[in-house]
Amino acid sequence: MKTLRVLTGITTSGTPHLGNYVGAIRPTVRASRLSHVDSFYFLADYHALIKVGEPARVQRSTLEIAATWLACGLDPEKVTFYRQSDIPEIPELTWLLTCVTGKGLLNRAHAYKASVDKNTAAGAEPDDGVTAGLFMYPVLMAADILMFNAHKVPVGRDQVQHIEMARDMASSFNHLYGEHFTLPEAEIEAHVATLPGLDGRKMSKSYDNTIPLFAPREQLRKLIMGIVTDSRAPGEPKDTEGSALFQLFQAFASPQETAAFASAFAEGIAWGEAKERLFERLDREIAPMRAVYDELMRDPARIERTLRAGADKARAIATPFTARLRHAVGLRPLDSVAGEGRTARTDKVATPTFKQYREADGLFRFKLLDARGTLLLESVGFESPREAAQAIARLRKEGAAALPGLGTQLQMQGPPQAVAEALAHFSENG
């Protein structure tokens, strides 16, 4: 029985390069072969629309990325491999999550904040050029993840905040409507080396220094010959430290091959010769996959069929799950009796809660929310989490009777009656 659900998406906005292969594709394809994981991989083409405004490029990239994953050995029979936009339940879930997501949470997203900071620095309006799509990016991503109740989400460091936000949205939804969503965890690929690009900086689309994974053999050779090196002459010993050439070799070769390459450096191999060896080593791993890739690229209809079959598999989960979620939030046939058809799992009754958090000013605060998640009380900032916890303990124990004593530390945000009722809930239930 497969238990662990792993899910990840790839934005279809570019052409896969060697860095993507070493950092994401190769480890992911290997992991997908483990028998205890149930893997979901998808082409995030709705996400692509946030940054790419060229329809032909979105389509081309979707084709290239799909062909790449298949050519690199992803087995669509073993995993669920699909295209995001083939699952209409994803935008539907995005809306349900939008309605339980604080706008303030999205204001704090790094990608959005970076745009605002850039505008502010340039003296422009904070939201200049920022689409609502960019702002909503984390909600769409949460829908991708929560739809399939993924446990683990392998991502780069820059995406960790998005997974945390997905957890927040899942908690809010569960709190309000019952336990529907698994809280996902990010799995950071820490051991995966980042690959240097042609200029020695990290290989990245944004530096324009990439080597396309499936460049034709001769083009691959030309690109490798163009990698930046120092000016040491043939016969002079060369440093492996900090050599892009060496790091690229190491990412593909066995430890023995790498050791032999290091000796050649020490013995003063000419840069031209070293590049030739790197090219041959890379091409040895890539050539068989490139042959499959080229064949797939000539037959887009076949890829289309594969993705459609993947979407059928994904929707076999997404369609009934969405029906359950619609029912949970009250989007129900009018002739169904209120509350009818609930499963035991969704039967949990929501209760008031305290939420503790820390703000950017470093102070600790808490809130009291009613069963529907509406804000009732907010505390001032405390220096330590202990002080916040003590105030909460008093409110739980004494209920509304504690309010006068804590007066200066709290701000009422809801009707006194509602605050008193919510607090009574705690003192009654211990």
Residues that bind ligand TRP (CB under 6 A): 7-9, 11, 44, 47, 141, 144-145, 153, 155, 159
Minimum CB–partner distance for residue 154 and ligand TRP (Å): 8
- Of the pair 202, 332, the CB lying nearest ligand TRP is at 202
Neighbouring CB atoms inside 10 A of 306's CB total 20
∠ CA 195-199-203, nearest 5°, is 30
Residue 197 contacts residue 226 (beta carbons within 8 Å): no
Minimum CB–partner distance for residue 213 and ligand TRP (Å): 17
38: part of which helix (H) or strand (E)? Answer: strand 37-44
Minimum CB–partner distance for residue 10 and ligand TRP (Å): 6
Q: What is 244-270 written as a DSSP string?
A: HHHHHHHHHS-HHHHHHHHHHHHTT--
Minimum CB–partner distance for residue 365 and ligand TRP (Å): 30
Minimum CB–partner distance for residue 301 and ligand TRP (Å): 26
- Of the pair 161, 409, the CB lying nearest ligand TRP is at 161
d(CA 390, CA 27): 47
Calculate helix-pair angle for 160-177, 89-98, nearest 10 degrees: 80
- Of the pair 9, 196, the CB lying nearest ligand TRP is at 9
d(CA 91, CA 258): 47
| E strands, 56-169, in order | 80-83, 152-155
d(CA 337, CA 324): 15
- Of the pair 44, 391, the CB lying nearest ligand TRP is at 44
Minimum CB–partner distance for residue 90 and ligand TRP (Å): 9
- Of the pair 11, 32, the CB lying nearest ligand TRP is at 11
Minimum CB–partner distance for residue 307 and ligand TRP (Å): 16
- Of the pair 137, 364, the CB lying nearest ligand TRP is at 137
* CB-closest chain residue to ligand TRP: 9
- Of the pair 109, 211, the CB lying nearest ligand TRP is at 109
Minimum CB–partner distance for residue 310 and ligand TRP (Å): 15
**DSSP 8-state code for residue 227:** S
- Of the pair 92, 285, the CB lying nearest ligand TRP is at 92
- Whether the CA torsion 18, 22, 25, 30 is positive or negative: it is positive
Minimum CB–partner distance for residue 141 and ligand TRP (Å): 4
With a CB cutoff of 8 Å and minimum separation 6, the contacts of 152 are 4, 5, 6, 7, 184, 185, 186, 187
Residue 105 contacts residue 373 (beta carbons within 8 Å): no
- Of the pair 185, 378, the CB lying nearest ligand TRP is at 185
Q: Using a CB cutoff of 8 Å and minimum separation of 24, what contacts does 214-219 make?
A: 214/16, 214/68, 214/71, 214/286, 214/289, 214/290, 214/293, 214/294, 216/290, 217/283, 217/287, 217/290
- Of the pair 187, 199, the CB lying nearest ligand TRP is at 187
Minimum CB–partner distance for residue 8 and ligand TRP (Å): 4
Question: Minimal CA–CA distance to 68: which of 285, 289, 217?
Answer: 289
Tokens of 265: 């450096």
